[in-house]
Amino acid sequence: MGTLAGKRALITGGASGIGQATTMLFAREGAAVAIADVDKAGGETVVQTIRDVGGQAILAPCDVTQSADCQRAVRLTVEELGGLDILFNNAGIIRRTNVLDTTEEDWDRVMVVNVKSIFLMSKYAIPVMKRAGGGVIINIGSGWGLVGGADAVSYCASKGAVVNMTRAMAIDHGGDNIRVNCICPGDTDTGMLRQEAHQLGVPDTEFLAEAAARPLGRMGTPEDIARAALYLASDAASFVTGAVLVVDGGGLAG
């Protein structure tokens, strides 16, 4: 029996990066998983990989910025998997610009993907969890939700919002036996990290070397963050809510 045996999890952005690693880990730990992602091909590949080893997985094609899509993803999860116990709000984007160089369109896009999507998915997931007697919501923040960073004003603002939104949700829904926590990763070896290098016009090798300059001497891996999500999703964290878990190899330590 796995840590999440019998649980049903919905993971946004589950087709790649941290979301994919978490989807695979949750499935190995016994959960039935639903992937909510705009990347249908990538999502289908992950679903098939899980099914090939006897796991249960479905794809819920979803633009997390659209209310109707989020509602449909929750409904499909309940219909196909029999319920919803865990929501991992993982989808996110970054724009590496300061206030002067940020367009209004880019500002709005970062906010809607990184913040509004959490509001929308949670809005439709929480009633399902309440009827079932409880559940778990995990939101993806960032170290830059706790401290500032250069040339990332919209991203820092959005992740700061996620951190405090998590706390507010934990207060509001603790009485419903719904735990709400936030993971704040440091630089993690994903496609999005390499996009940052391209946005800044910095060679990948130089950018990744800087990302590894932290006490543990390396970048994070998607699996590092997935293991933190597994802890928060599991009964081992049954008295943990409103928490902000930093997983950054010591990057914010000093």
Which portions of the chain are predicted below pLDDT 70?
1
CB 220 within 8 A of CB 159: no
**CATH fold for domain 8-246:** Rossmann fold (3.40.50)
CA dihedral of residues 33, 38, 39, 41 (deg, nearest 10)? 80
Residues 6 or more apart whose Cβ sits within 8 Å of residue 74: 10, 84, 121, 124, 125, 128
What residues pair up with 220 in beta bridges, in sequence order? 188
Distance of alpha carbon 248 from alpha carbon 47, whole angstroms: 29
Percent of the chain with pLDDT over 70: 100
Domain ranges for the chain: 8-246
The pLDDT assigned to 254 comes to 82
- Check if 231 is active-site: no
Query: Could you tell me which of 182, 180, 105 has the C-alpha nearest to residue 143?
Result: 182
List the catalytic residue out of 155, 160, 230, 241: 155
**pTM, 2 dp:** 0.97
Angle among Cα 188, 189, 190 to the nearest 5 degrees reads: 100
Could you give the angle at which helices 67-81 and 117-132 cross, rounded to 10 degrees? 30
Residue 27 Cα distances to 1, 33, 129, 162, angstroms: 12, 6, 20, 26
